[in-house]
Amino acid sequence: MGFGSVLKNGFTRRRFMKGALLGAGVAATGSAWAAQEIAQAMATGKKASDVRGYGVEPGRVNIGSNENPLGASPRAVAAIAENLHKINRYDFGVDLPVRLNKAHGVPGVEDFEFNFGDMRAFMRFRELNRVMVTPGSGPILQALAVIAANNGGECIEAVPGYGSVARGFQSFQMMGKDVSVVRVPTTADFVHDIEAMKAAITPTTSLIVVTNPNNPTGTIVPYDQLVSLVDAAPEQAIVLIDEAYIHFVRDPNYQDAVKLALERDNVVVARTFSKIYGLAGMRIGYAIGSQRMMDMLMAHMGFFGGGLSTLGMHAATAALDDDEFVDRTLTVVNDGKDYLSAAFDRLGLAYTPSHGNYMIVDVGRDSRRMSGELFRRGVMVRSGSGYRTREIDLLGNHLRVTIGKPDELEVFVNELEDILGGSSQG
């Protein structure tokens, strides 16, 4: 039914919201894995046609894009429903940056109340603000690549790794800019080799990237090593720490890099609402950094809200309070990683323990062909060969598997075992 038909047929705002909230509740319910369900998982023989993931067409298991398997935060969905009829109005998006400053303990904002009509309040917030909100975290990475490559320079990024900033620098190379890219191989355990990255630094280094937890390997860099990397960076170099998956780190004592970004003048932390809050389709991200870094980003991206939509702003603000959904997501993701670990052990496959909502597994053969065969069977995963350079391909035999719902992972393991010929050890 089109929106015009909705209005013509008297589909009221009350009815719409009731349906939206009901859908949000269903999408967030995601049953926890009981021990008995895990033990019986391999006995059912489920196929992709037997399951339906949230936001996926029937008959397809999409566990290739690191999305939230439980759908979106119900509070975010409710906020979208509440504000859907306001999209004819401009929203300059100040509430979310203020909330994020407070959530990350930025000094001076504890009791700050923004008055958009008061220019003094605007200028005061600009002095205090350490957050730039953007339509996804991707624009932050792109903007920093532009800033760092503007006068020439060098980008250092790990391989295998997300590689987005390195690709940005390479596009400047294609345009004739005097820039270069250094991809530093990870250790044998697929952890950022911080000492090797430090050794790669030169006086022309302008941007250093650490994705932490790393995508696609799920490994993390200890805080003290991040500090040592920042200490080794030239004064003009920006250090970007991409924490898209930081919420999934299983070590309760792990220290994120926000404190480092607030204390150092050349460090930026990037975050996203796409993963833990299930808002990938809304495209909501943000950067945390010093006033110098915020001024740089604002010069390239505009106002504090960075172009985020009205609905995205309300959705993200509401999601920040959805602790119940976050806890449910972490339970499903952690249980899912434990389930896959047990399955890979049974199949005799090497894998890397992960602090993300995904895992990599060595399937012992060309992962492109393996992912293609799984796709034909209705299961979408990511080939590790997508994280290579011309010279370095450390994951050519690896698959990256997003943690899905229990039945989605069950289908994946069933199909994987069938492709491998039913061979198992133990």
Across 42-46, 161-165, 318-322, the highest mean pLDDT is recorded for 318-322
Rounded CA separation 41/379 (Å): 17
Kindly report the backbone phi and psi dihedral angles of residue 182, in degrees, each rounded to the nearest multiple of 5, phi listed first. Answer: -120, 115
Asked if the model's pLDDT at residue 31 lies above 90, the reply is no
User: Starting at the edge strand that comes first in sequence, how are the strands of the sheet with 382-383 ordered?
Assistant: 351-352, 358-362, 398-402, 382-383
Q: Which two tokens stand for residue 94?
A: 């100040």
Provide the β-strand partners of residue 359. 401
Asked if the model's pLDDT at residue 42 lies above 70, the reply is no
Q: Which two tokens stand for residue 219?
A: 């490994």
Map tokens 């429903």 to a residue.
Answer: 81
Q: Which two tokens stand for residue 211?
A: 């994705």
Residue 293: how many CA atoms within 13 Å on its side-chain side? 29
DSSP secondary structure code for residue 109 in this structure: -
Map tokens 């069950």 to a residue.
Answer: 410
Nearest to 116 by CA among 130, 132, 95: 95
Map tokens 């995963």 to a residue.
Answer: 381
Asked if the model's pLDDT at residue 188 lies above 50, the reply is yes
What's the pLDDT tens digit per position in 109-154?
888 777 767 777 777 888 888 999 999 999 999 999 999 998 789 9
- Higher-confidence residue of 271 and 42: namely 271
State pTM to two decimals: 0.87
Rounded CA separation 80/278 (Å): 14
Map tokens 């720490």 to a residue.
Answer: 241
Rounded CA separation 226/258 (Å): 11
Rounded CA separation 18/248 (Å): 32
Domains of the chain, residue spans: 31-73+323-419, 89-319
Kindly report the backbone phi and psi dihedral angles of residue 160, in degrees, each rounded to the nearest multiple of 5, phi listed first. Answer: -70, 140
Q: What is the average pLDDT value for the chain, to the nearest integer? A: 87
Rounded CA separation 423/417 (Å): 7
Angle at which helices 74-83 and 13-29 cross, to 10°: 170
Nearest to 363 by CA among 425, 426, 419: 419
What CATH class is the domain 31-73+323-419?
Answer: alpha beta
Instruction: Check: CB of residue 156 under 8 Å from CB of residue 209.
Output: yes
* Residue 213, preceding peptide bond in cis (omega within 30° of 0): yes
Phi-psi category of residue 274: left, alpha or beta, with phi > 0 → left and psi -120 to 50 → alpha: alpha
Across 17-26, 113-122, 201-210, 302-311, the highest mean pLDDT is recorded for 201-210
Which helix (H) or strand (E) element contains residue 270?
Answer: strand 267-272
Instruction: Check: CB of residue 42 under 8 Å from CB of residue 414.
Output: yes
Residue 30 has a pLDDT of: 40
Q: How far apart are the first and last CA of the chain?
A: 55
For the chain, what is the total number of helices (H) and then of strands (E)? 16, 13
Give the pLDDT band of residue 10 (cuts 50, 70, 90).
very low
Asked if the model's pLDDT at residue 54 lies above 50, the reply is yes
What is the b/e burial string over 251-282, where b = at least 16 CB atoms within 10 angstroms of the residue's CB?
eeeeebbbbbbbebebbbbbbbbbbbbbbbeb
Tell me whether domains 31-73+323-419 and 89-319 share a fold: no
What's the pLDDT tens digit per position in 298-356?
888 766 666 788 899 999 999 999 999 999 999 999 999 999 999 999 999 999 999 99
Residue 303 has a pLDDT of: 65
Q: What dotted CATH number matches 89-319?
A: 3.40.640.10
